[in-house]
Amino acid sequence: MSLQRYQNELIVLFVFVLMLLAFSYKHTQVTVQGSKAVQIQNEIVNFKEIISLKRVWGDKGLTKKVGKLQKLISSDKVKWSKKSKKVTAFYTNLTGTELNKLVTKILSLAVEIQKLDIQKKSSTYDVEFKCKW
């Protein structure tokens, strides 16, 4: 008989608890959906960056540009070795302007630099350069 007396209050309490559960479910779903949207946007940005890098690295003219490094400095100062898409070059007795020209050209190329070793010997420089693309 006491339950009959508080029947309306129990119904209101049950509806209130149900309403709180629905609100918490909705809140978690909105939060998860927002985080997934941010994650998808980040993946799209990364994917676009990968595509642009593949275009740059897959450029047919890149081999010609790397080949210009051999002709940039006089041939008596250069020891050049090219195997498929890998280059090893040794430059000896470079002046400061030749070194600056060479390093600027190397850094403007879209290649993976494996080794760039610059050693100063009195007023000249020796450079060892290895890269692949």
pLDDT(2) > 90: no
Q: Are residues 13 and 68 in the same domain?
A: no
Cβ contact 131:66 at 8 Å: yes
pLDDT(56) > 90: no
Cβ contact 129:81 at 8 Å: no
Q: pLDDT grade, residue 3 (50/70/90)?
A: confident
Q: Are residues 72 and 126 in the same domain?
A: yes
Q: Are residues 70 and 114 in the same domain?
A: yes
Q: Are residues 39 and 99 in the same domain?
A: no
Q: For 122, phi and psi rounded to 5 degrees? A: 50, -105
Looking at residue 85, its pLDDT comes to 87
Q: Are residues 9 and 69 in the same domain?
A: no
Q: Are residues 9 and 68 in the same domain?
A: no
Q: Are residues 78 and 23 in the same domain?
A: no
CA quadruple 74, 64, 81, 102: dihedral sign: positive
Considering the entire predicted model, what is its pTM? 0.61
Residue for token pair 């350069």 = 129
Q: What is the tens place of the pLDDT at every residue in 19-53?
A: 999 999 999 999 999 999 999 999 999 999 999 88
From CA 47, how far away is CA 54, in angstroms rounded? 11
Q: Are residues 78 and 27 in the same domain?
A: no
Looking at residue 1, its pLDDT comes to 57
Q: What is the mean pLDDT of residues 107-131?
A: 94
Q: Are residues 44 and 78 in the same domain?
A: no
Q: What is the tens place of the pLDDT at every residue in 72-118?
A: 999 999 999 999 889 999 999 999 999 999 999 999 998 999 999 99
Structurally, how many domains does the chain consist of?
2
Domain edge (last residue) among 14, 33, 57: 57
Q: 3-state SS of the chain: helix, strand, coil percent to 5?
A: 60, 25, 15
Residue 89 is part of which domain span? 62-132
Q: Are residues 53 and 76 in the same domain?
A: no
Looking at residue 126, its pLDDT comes to 96
Beta strands in 24-123 (DSSP E): 78-83, 86-94, 112-121
Q: Are residues 50 and 80 in the same domain?
A: no
What CATH number should be reported for the domain holding residue 68?
A: 3.90.1070
Q: Are residues 44 and 75 in the same domain?
A: no
